[in-house]
Amino acid sequence: MNRVTVRACLASAATTLLLTSCSLTGGGDTATEPSTSAAGGSGSGGGTVVLATHESFHLPKKLVRQFEEESGYTLEVRAAGDAGTLATKLSLTADNPIADAAYGIDNTFASRPLDEGAFAAFTPGTTPPEQYALAEGGDRLVPVDSASVCVNVDTDWFDREGLTPPETLDDLTDPAYADLMVTPGASTSSPGMAFFLATVAQYGDDWPDYWADLLANGAKVVDGWEDAYYGDFTAGSKTGTRPIVVSYDSSPAFTVEDGRSTTAALLDTCFRQVEYAGVLAGADNPEGAEALVDWMLSAEVQSALPESMYVFPVMPGATVPDGWAQFAQQPTDPYEVDPAEIAANREEWLTEWTDVISR
Amino acid sequence: MRRVLALLALAAGPVLVLGVLFVLPVGGMLSEGFVVDGRFAPGAVLDVLARPRVHRVAWFTLWSSAVATALAVLLGLPAAYALHRLRLPGRHAVRAALLVPFVLPTVVVGVAFRQLLGEGGPLGFLGLDGTPVAIVAGLVFFNVAVVVRTVGVAWESLDPRPGQAAAALGASPWQVLRTVTLPALRPAVVGAASVVFLFCATAFGIVLTLGGVRYSTVETEIYLLTTTVFDLQAAAALSVLQIVVVVVLLAVSARLRAVPDPTAQRTVVAARPLRRGDVPVVLATLVVLGAMLAPVAALVAGSLSVGDGWGLANYRALSSAGDGQALLVPVSDALLMSLRTAVDATWMALLLGGLVSVVVTRRSRSAAERRVRSALDGFFMLPLGVSAVTLGFGFLITLDRPPLDLRDSPLLVPLAQALVALPLVVRTLTPVLAGVDDRQRQAAASLGASPWRAVLTVDLPVVWKPALAASGFAFAASLGEFGATSFLARDDSPTLPVVIFRLIGHPGEMNYGMALAASVVLAATTAVVMLAVERLRVPGVGAF
């Protein structure tokens, strides 16, 4: 590096430092605004409504502005951590909630905050379809979207190799598919947990045997969905070597080339995750929270869910994008496990699962 | 007695900050596990420690961290020497570059490592993917910079005359190193090693990514127990275990770090030109640099790869919201936010760390005073050894009521990052401050200087360069911090690592490419800032 470049670097770095330090000393002016207005306005028909959610939450700015204009509330989103972190946060703060409403608790985690009394009873203005309702806690948590975790295959890879792709969970232990599969772990990843629950639903108490077979057939278990999809899956990574991956039913819509998808979801292997929203018990702004949850069920938000969060809307009238209608199919008969059973067995299952995979 | 009181008064500020932001939250979270139905029930928590799985987890944590620490020190020492004592071309750039791994988001490094080591990657034939070897390699990758910098700064100001005298008396270079140089460097080496060990033992993302789910460390296990299983008793048990181990470790390292006479005069020695005998050291440094750069090169290549060819599309996309509007704010805004947060975190860490270093390095006149000082010294290292998950959830449940309602404060993120950087600052400054002869301060005082004046005239000239290095370090640590930040960051003002994580977690090839490009931007920003720190200190020293 010559002297001129060094000077240039130095100058630019110094400028950046000066700019940032001048504008800052304390987190910035923009950031303090919402919290002051939050302190000031918790009354009805205005003020701030705070939504606690997970890091995948996202809705178009235009929609949010529209909600704020029509309802008179200012929406403040506090998103951090994954679904498990969110469930833990809500459970631990049940007596002094971190927000007014929460979104993103799914059917594998719902029992925990419900048991801790984190949610208040609430009846939405529009009734979502019965099939998504929770058996226990349906009066407090409202279904907003669903996304099924399914085994995905790289159909191009199978075409090239002249091999028929697998179709069922049983097929995955077939020696013809030896060393071809990768899945995120049940203990470390939410889709990994969903796939594990699919095997529990299918094999009951015999699931450890199935997992032993799966591993004997060369299935690879990695930490997270990102690692599986971008690290090992042939259609997600240039260096990937495994054409079978655990992902979502919507994933094929993201591998479209020349008008067709190069991957497919195996719809007989799916476990359905439903995400719920609810009003937090003891919220500062319960009216705002109710308006917010109702808004999540509105046609606009429901139709925005696929593009924004890669999930399917629960309301029948909502529209899905063209690509989705063509390439992302939902399973008609997904595997299900009763949330109460999940709650009762989660720890034991995970302990045993970890033992099986580290044998 | 008066001295002890004065000491406590000086320490009060940092102790208060640490008490509120660390002891209180961790205590709150631990009590969730210990208190069942409103009654203190330690029995169940202690039962957890008898579980065979807990033993496996603890053992794996200990040995993988120990091996990684040993390797980081072995690889870091030659590089510290070459980069701080030899006049190598481009050594400032290399010093800046070595800090880059330290700030890269672990999830990105994990994917980059896996593309190198994975079954189809260039190093796939080694079969290391998902093995403990990969975990140790990842830990070393992240932490070599800590050794190079901490030891390098001490080495730079090491008086060369005792070594020269030994050589004149016939000692071989090896003998000089073994009998003169290394003993003098021991405080810095032990300090660096203890920081690295704590970083390794509490590493989270890199262990998860590189070890798959087969290998669990205490840190990953606490995360799993807290968020997935919601077994707070078991999580509390492991947290207590972690704290106990850390305290023992700190006590041991404090003993090892102690030097017989800390009055050695420290001056900054000018780097000398290369000699023939330096070739092995330079080669070793090049090897370290190469090993550091391989995953970074994989990252850069990935960010430039578009479809079947190469291009800058991923970089151009950084001003957008990503595929399917994955982002609320473009990467460019997040970068600015990161820089602003890092500036705040840096001055906080430097202020706190400076006070702490002054407190713990002043000569003690009595055993009681010495004990207070070493207890304080250990106390300020504790944040490194405690699970970020425990701390994060602790924030939520303890700092939630006036007068300490910090849950929504925009200062929370820089404060948390400053806590993360604090031990680095302390460990960089203490060896240097310990080297200042206390008699100089006494002389200044006897000439009528106030305590502040004495600090300004005696300590500042010696300490300002290491302080700059420490601030660069703190800045880099803050830029790359993900664990605490992701937990506490507000949605409307995410930092760059948070945005990168968000991108990589969303499907769509463009998002993945953007995540890689954003990581390269983060790495480059760090390198430039570090380069500036390296260069800024030049004008003050005439010898350069």
Rounded Cα–Cα distance for residues A181 and A160 (Å): 17
At residue B212 the predicted structure's pLDDT band, cuts being 50, 70 and 90, is low
Residue A45: the pLDDT is 58
Residue B261: the pLDDT is 43
Rounded Cα–Cα distance for residues B250 and B263 (Å): 23
- List Cβ neighbours of A323 (8 Å cut-off, separation of 6 or more): A253, A256
- The secondary structure of B339-383 as a DSSP string is HHHHHHHHHHHHHHHHHHHHHHHSPPSSHHHHHHHHHHHHHHHGG
Decide if B229 and A347 are in contact by the 8 Å CB cutoff. yes
Of B180 and B372, more confident: B180
A314: phi then psi, degrees, rounded to nearest 5: -95, -25
Rounded Cα–Cα distance for residues A149 and A270 (Å): 5
Q: What is the pTM of this model?
A: 0.81
Residue B438 · residue B264 · CB < 8 Å: no
B412: phi then psi, degrees, rounded to nearest 5: -65, -45
If you measure CA to CA, which chain A residue comes closest to B121? A239
Highest mean pLDDT among A222-226, B232-236, B392-396, B468-472: B232-236
Of B109 and B506, more confident: B109
Distance from CA of B508 to the nearest CA of A (A): 6
Decide if B410 and A237 are in contact by the 8 Å CB cutoff. no
Element (H, E) at B27: helix B24-34
Chain B interface test: which of A4, A58, A311 (most B C-beta within 10 Å): A58
Decide if B493 and A223 are in contact by the 8 Å CB cutoff. no
Rounded Cα–Cα distance for residues A192 and A107 (Å): 14
Of B99 and B335, more confident: B335
- The secondary structure of B33-58 as a DSSP string is HHEETTEE-HHHHHHHTT-HHHHHHH
Decide if A10 and B536 are in contact by the 8 Å CB cutoff. yes
* Chain A, chain B: beta-carbon pairs less than 8 Å apart: 214
Residues of B in Cβ contact (< 8 Å) with A225: 505
Mean pLDDT for the stretch of residues B357-373: 79
Q: Out of A12, A21, A91, name the one closest to residue B230 (CB).
A: A91
Give residues 271 to 300 of A whose Cβ lies within 8 Å of B.
none
Residue B127: the pLDDT is 81
At residue B442 the predicted structure's pLDDT band, cuts being 50, 70 and 90, is confident
Residue B284 · residue B78 · CB < 8 Å: yes
At B469, which amino acid appears?
Answer: A
Angle (nearest 5°) at CA A349 between A120 and A94: 20
Q: How many CA atoms lie within 13 A of B432 on its CB side?
A: 30
At residue B464 the predicted structure's pLDDT band, cuts being 50, 70 and 90, is confident
Residue A145: the pLDDT is 94
Q: Which two tokens mark A126?
A: 């529009």
- List Cβ neighbours of A351 (8 Å cut-off, separation of 6 or more): B53
Rounded Cα–Cα distance for residues B157 and B161 (Å): 12
Mean pLDDT for the stretch of residues B147-160: 83
| A252 in contact with B, Cβ within 8 Å | no
Residue B73: the pLDDT is 95
Return the number of other C-beta atoms located less than 10 Å from residue A161's C-beta: 12
Decide if B212 and A222 are in contact by the 8 Å CB cutoff. yes
Element (H, E) at B137: helix B132-156
Residues of A in Cβ contact (< 8 Å) with B327: 58
Give residues 299 to 318 of A whose Cβ lies within 8 Å of B.
307-308, 310
Decide if A242 and B119 are in contact by the 8 Å CB cutoff. yes
Of B167 and B486, more confident: B167
Decide if B340 and A24 are in contact by the 8 Å CB cutoff. yes
Q: Which two tokens mark B367?
A: 């055993």
Residue B264: the pLDDT is 47
Residues of B in Cβ contact (< 8 Å) with A248: 507
Residue A58: the pLDDT is 81
Q: Which residues of chain A have pLDDT under 50?
A: 1, 6, 9, 19, 21-44
Task: Enter the DSSP assignment of A160.
Answer: H
Return the number of other C-beta atoms located less than 10 Å from residue B308's C-beta: 6
Give residues 77 to 96 of A whose Cβ lies within 8 Å of B.
77-82, 84-85, 87-89, 91-93, 96
Which 3 state secondary structure label does DSSP give A129? coil
Burial class (CB in 10 A: 0-12, 13-18, 19+), B6: middle
Query: Pick from B251, B265, B266, B427: which is nearest to B356 by CA?
Result: B427
Residue A230: the pLDDT is 83
Chain B interface test: which of A4, A183, A230, A232 (most B C-beta within 10 Å): A230
Decide if A229 and B209 are in contact by the 8 Å CB cutoff. no
For residue range B17-57, list pLDDT tens digits in order.
Answer: 888 888 999 999 899 888 877 788 888 888 888 888 889 88
Residue A19: the pLDDT is 47
Residue A323 · residue A159 · CB < 8 Å: no
Cα of A293 vs its chain's centroid, Å: 18
If you measure CA to CA, which chain A residue comes closest to B119? A241
Distance from CA of B208 to the nearest CA of A (A): 6
Give residues 95 to 134 of A whose Cβ lies within 8 Å of B.
96, 98, 112
Residues of A in Cβ contact (< 8 Å) with B537: none
Q: Which two tokens mark B101?
A: 């791994």
- List Cβ neighbours of B269 (8 Å cut-off, separation of 6 or more): B85, B156, B157, B158, B159, B160
Residue B269: the pLDDT is 67
| A225 in contact with B, Cβ within 8 Å | yes
At residue B273 the predicted structure's pLDDT band, cuts being 50, 70 and 90, is confident
DSSP3 helix / strand / coil % (chain A, rounded to 5): 45, 20, 35
For residue range B278-288, list pLDDT tens digits in order.
Answer: 888 888 888 88
Least confident window among A66-75, A255-264, B324-333, B413-422: B324-333
Angle (nearest 5°) at CA B149 between B358 and B377: 30
At B507, which amino acid appears?
Answer: P
Q: Which two tokens mark B304?
A: 């430039």
Distance from CA of A196 to the nearest CA of B (A): 14
| A230 in contact with B, Cβ within 8 Å | yes
Q: Which two tokens mark B313?
A: 């599309």
